[in-house]
Amino acid sequence: MESMREVFTKEVKLKDGSLVKIRHVDVDDSLRLLQMYNSLSQDTIYNRFFIFRDKMTPEEAEKMAAISKKDEIALVGIVNRENSVSIIADARIYVEGDAGEIGIVVHDSWQNKGLGTALVSELIREGEKRGLKRLKIYCLPDNRIMIHVGEKVGFKYTMSELGIVRMILDLPSTNKRSE
């Protein structure tokens, strides 16, 4: 029987005119994810994971590519470069009941071009389709780009007691699934 898996693809035009496709992560993306994560600056890695870390292992990349669709929604930004596809961004919702936490990273050379905003907007739509009621983003106070993206798409933010920025977006409850 043919898989019912939906391959979502949207093409977005960035501020510099570049075209990027956004689609769901695929199990075959592990090598592309590995290449992208291992070419990020330490600042970008720190902003994404809140720690400085060593290179990603192939096993970690495989786990990121083979997601549990029940617990996670994952989109990637892809470009065609020299006759091959490269992942330049990774955006996820980690589902926790009727809420989800967003984690996103855009490759250094693709930041400040509108891709983060496009990805977060798509994650909001995916969360609504899933019937989630609330999305959260946690980021460091120095991560002005993420704070700007969150504000731009409607998140409200506060500082947590640990000095982390906590952004919340309540989703419309009109898309409730029928039981």
Q: Tell me which DSSP letter residue 171 carries.
A: P
Does any domain span residue 4?
no
Q: Evaluate if residue 179 carries a pLDDT over 90.
A: no
Does any domain span residue 49?
yes
Overall domain count for the chain: 1
Q: Tell me which DSSP letter residue 154 carries.
A: T
Q: What is the pLDDT of residue 81?
A: 78
Q: Evaluate if residue 173 carries a pLDDT over 90.
A: no
Residue that the structure tokens 């039981």 belong to: 179
Mean pLDDT of the chain: 89
Does any domain span residue 94?
yes
Instruction: Look up the CATH number of the domain holding residue 113.
Output: 3.40.630.30
Q: What is the pLDDT of residue 18?
A: 93
Average pLDDT for 12-40? 95
Which residues, 6+ apart, have CB-to-CB distance to 124 below 8 Å? 135, 153, 169, 171
Does any domain span residue 2?
no
> What's the pTM?
0.88
Q: What is the pLDDT of residue 7?
A: 64
Q: Evaluate if residue 24 carries a pLDDT over 90.
A: yes
Q: Evaluate if residue 177 carries a pLDDT over 50.
A: no
Torsion of CA 77, 116, 31, 6, to 10 degrees: -50
What is the per-residue pLDDT across 74-105, written as a single tens digit (0 to 9) for each?
Answer: 999 999 877 888 999 999 999 999 999 999 99
Does any domain span residue 55?
yes
Does any domain span residue 76?
yes
With a pLDDT cut of 70, the percent of the chain lying above it is: 92
Q: Evaluate if residue 2 carries a pLDDT over 50.
A: no
Residue 63 lies in domain: 9-175
What is the per-residue pLDDT across 130-166, written as a single tens digit (0 to 9) for each?
Answer: 999 999 999 999 899 999 999 999 999 998 778 899 9
Q: Evaluate if residue 175 carries a pLDDT over 50.
A: no
Q: What is the pLDDT of residue 174?
A: 54
Does any domain span residue 1?
no
3-state secondary structure of 116: helix
Strands (E) located in the chain: 9-13, 19-24, 72-81, 84-96, 99-106, 134-139, 156-159, 165-170
Q: What is the pLDDT of residue 178?
A: 40
Using DSSP bridges, classify how beta strands 84-96 and 134-139 pair: parallel, antiparallel or unpaired: unpaired
Q: What is the pLDDT of residue 4?
A: 38
